[in-house]
Amino acid sequence: MEKIKNRFLKYIAIDTRSDESKANLIKPTSKGQLELGKILKEELNDLGLDAYINDEGFVFSCLKANTDKILPKVGFIAHMDTSPEMPGGIKNPQIIKYEGGDIKLKENIFIKENDFPFLKDLKGKTLITTNGEMLLGADDKAGIAAILDAIEYLINNPQIEHGDIKIAFTPDEEIGTGCDSFDVDYFDADFAYTLDGGRLGELEYESFNAAEAKISIKGKSVHPGTAKNTMINSISVAKELDDLLGQVQRPEHTEGYEGFYHMISIDGSIEDTNLVYIIRDFDKEKFENMKNFLNDCVNFLNSKYGNIIKIEMSDTYYNMGDVLKNHKEIIECAKKAMENLGIKVITQPIRGGTDGSKLSFMNLPCPNLFTGGYNFHGIYELIPIEDMKKASDTIIEIIKEISKK
């Protein structure tokens, strides 16, 4: 486990936050992603593999087949960027042998058992946590570490037969644009797995359908003393729009297969207010209905106030389950691999998306495997080293299962 731990610590020390404000300007959206990509290319070269990094930061490589058997070409994919929500590049994570109780990160900041009941299942494991100030980056540098650890093992154990094993590390997954230009033809895999899940045993093959709505409201500012029947407060109109969408379909009130509207930003004055919503649902028909309802709400308020609202809505990704239902054999292969290792398989919908959400619709069926991490996108993020190693073991076991075909 020392190798995978050291790999992980090396990767998380590089700040690879993606930057949504640059999504349509440069790729990748941060220099740190290119820096990490070059390091990963060198590591693959050191393992004896040809590796390529393009101008957009994608790293591609392949462990060539070591058998004359005709076997499927399988890919393993992880993303290099971390969430823009918090600083990355942590150089002083905490590594502890967990024996129970609350975990102190820094003064007055704890990962508490009462808040995170899963901690009871991690007793006896070695945890890497944040320092209480920044992201750990297990999402998704644990996936990168697991893939490279597995590839090195396969190279050192040539008695394990395999076909071509394709490898890709991608940029800007966290802002939903990374795989827009993924070269599926160059990657040349029959199917793939992303290593971008959470706790031990997760196997995900359904994701949200996702859209984003950018809304601008033009108000009318006059002196409040003479405002009657004249002022239009764009902030109040924004509140009215949010109220029309309702209280129930919000992230904090939904779970499982329930969709939501989520206001992720608002910036306003009496004269001008700008909002951004994300819209999510697993069911395509419900997803379309939710988008239509938001448009209906905007149209209603425009008829009331006189065309003061503009909306731009665009789809981000779709439910990969609509594709993967026709490729159940690759899901069953992953299940069998985990069962062989004594891992309890946890199948659940992703209440979000992965690169696989897009790649599955680009003719590359791509379910998602666990990395072992918890509490992504915040200071309470942590990962047991043992579970990250199990992710590597699962890759190897998938290869063994494929070789039996």
User: Would you give per-residue pLDDT tens digits along the chain (405 residues)?
Assistant: 899 999 999 999 999 999 988 877 889 999 999 999 999 999 999 999 999 999 999 999 999 999 999 999 999 999 999 999 899 999 999 999 999 999 999 999 999 999 999 999 999 999 999 999 999 999 999 999 999 999 999 999 999 999 999 999 999 999 888 888 999 999 999 999 999 999 999 999 999 999 999 999 999 999 999 999 999 999 999 999 999 999 899 999 999 999 999 999 999 999 999 999 999 999 999 999 999 999 999 999 999 999 999 999 999 999 999 999 999 999 999 999 999 999 999 998 989 888 999 999 999 999 999 999 999 999 999 999 999 999 999 999 999 999 986
Please count the other Cβ atoms lying within 10 Å of the Cβ belonging to residue 71. Answer: 19
Q: In sequence order, which ranges of 258-319 are alpha helices (DSSP H)? A: 284-305
Where exactly are the structural domains of the chain? 1-206+319-404, 209-317
Asked if the domains at 1-206+319-404 and 209-317 fall in one CATH topology, the answer is no
DSSP string covering 68-81, please?
SS----EEEEEE--
Token output for 238: 């924004």
Cα–Cα distances in Å, from 363 out to 63, 72, 74, 145?
22, 15, 13, 26
CA–CA separation, 64 and 74 (whole Å): 11
Please say whether the structural domain 209-317 has been given the CATH code 1.20.120.10.
no
Sole residue written with tokens 């691999």:
337
Please say whether the structural domain 1-206+319-404 has been given the CATH code 3.40.630.10.
yes
The reply to whether 79 sits in an annotated binding site is yes
Please count the other Cβ atoms lying within 10 Å of the Cβ belonging to residue 140. Answer: 30
The reply to whether 139 sits in an annotated binding site is yes
Active site residues per annotation: 81, 173
The reply to whether 196 sits in an annotated binding site is yes
